[in-house]
Structure 1
Amino acid sequence: MSGRIVVGVDGSEPALKALKWAAAQAALTGDSLEVVTSWEYPASWSTMMPGVPTEFDPEQLAKEILNASLEKALDPATAAAARRTVVGGNPAQALVDTAKGATLLVVGDRGYSGFKAAVLGSVSTNVTQHAPCPVVVVRGESAAS
């Protein structure tokens, strides 16, 4: 009986590495691959992002990021077989919720946050503390590189 591997993507290099790792693991185990991204409005959308067109659709942008991540990281057959999930809400909570019943949850060590001094980013830290299944955190660049 095969399971399901959930992987979070945001388009960052660590997320792409996590996606590649998760796809390879799914190929080894026979598990299905579910690729997840999320989006949420800032508390004060219009004041935080002046000049953003009113027709701006963050859910559509999240779908485009998810599709571009699959295209960039995986071969076409593997990308086509992956389940694509876009969730509105906090990224860490979206991953924890989606991972219910999963065999494994995979994330990159950090996303686009500018705070590089921490060992893990906020999403990967939250996920490792609250996930309902085992978690693999795929490291991005090391401090030496």
Structure 2
Amino acid sequence: MSGIIVVGVDGSDTARKAAESARDLAAALGATLHVVSAFDADRSDKFGSGSNKWLVSDADKAEHVARSVADTLGSDIKITYAAASGRPADALIREAISKEARAIVVGNRRMRGIGRVLGSVANSVAHNAPCDVYIANTYDVD
């Protein structure tokens, strides 16, 4: 078996736990893990003063989050990462389509209470994904 497993991360502990579950699933399937962090808009912030100024965009921040998670998962499998524009569920679905992923892994954060009624990333992905969806239990992280 092989293929690509896509996982969404946002820097939170719950997303980290979902990424660890995705890593384990990818290892069991002999698949590549693709870590994705979404960003809504490509805004930029300037930091520094005088001639020492840096421009940091939302895309840069999202890529940093994805790379940081990918770098710390420590596994014998191939792990790639990317930043993807759009709302998290939409970005994950587009990445899964473009990579012809066999599964998307998301955490179950906000799938209880009012979040369940209003929707969540996991709910949106589960209803619109072009592939299998694995919802990792991340309730004990909060």
- TM-score, scaled to structure 2: 0.77
SS in 2 for 1:118: helix
Residue 57 of structure 2 corresponds to which residue in structure 1? 57
Amino acid across the alignment from 1:127? V
Q: CA separation in 2, counterparts of 1:116 and 1:15?
A: 19
State whether residues 84 and 95 of structure 2, in contact with CA within 8 Å, keep that contact through their aligned partners in structure 1: no
Residue 134 of structure 1 corresponds to which residue in structure 2? 132
SS in 2 for 1:99: helix
Give the C-alpha shift of residue 66 in structure 1.
1.2
Question: Where in structure 2 are the equivalents of 1:84-123 lying within 5 Å?
Answer: 84-100=81-97, 101-110=100-109, 117-119=114-116, 122-123=120-121
Q: CA separation in 2, counterparts of 1:77 and 1:116?
A: 38
- State the structure with bigger RCO (CA 8 A, min sep 6), 1 or 2: 1
- TM-score, scaled to structure 1: 0.75
Deviations 1:71-121 (A, max 9, x none): 44x11655xx3111211222111111111221111011238xxx9753496
State whether residues 70 and 81 of structure 2, in contact with CA within 8 Å, keep that contact through their aligned partners in structure 1: no
State whether residues 8 and 19 of structure 2, in contact with CA within 8 Å, keep that contact through their aligned partners in structure 1: yes
Give the C-alpha shift of residue 68 in structure 1.
2.1
Percent sequence identity over aligned pairs: 33
Amino acid across the alignment from 2:90? Q
Structure 1 residues 75, 116: CA separation in 2 closer, same or farther (over 3 Å shift)? farther
Structure 1 residues 116, 71: CA separation in 2 closer, same or farther (over 3 Å shift)? farther
Query: Structure 2 regions of 5+ residues with no counterpart?
Result: 48-54
Amino acid across the alignment from 1:107? V
Deviations 1:42-65 (A, max 9, x none): 9xx79xxxxx54734111111111
CA RMSD of aligned residues (A): 2.9
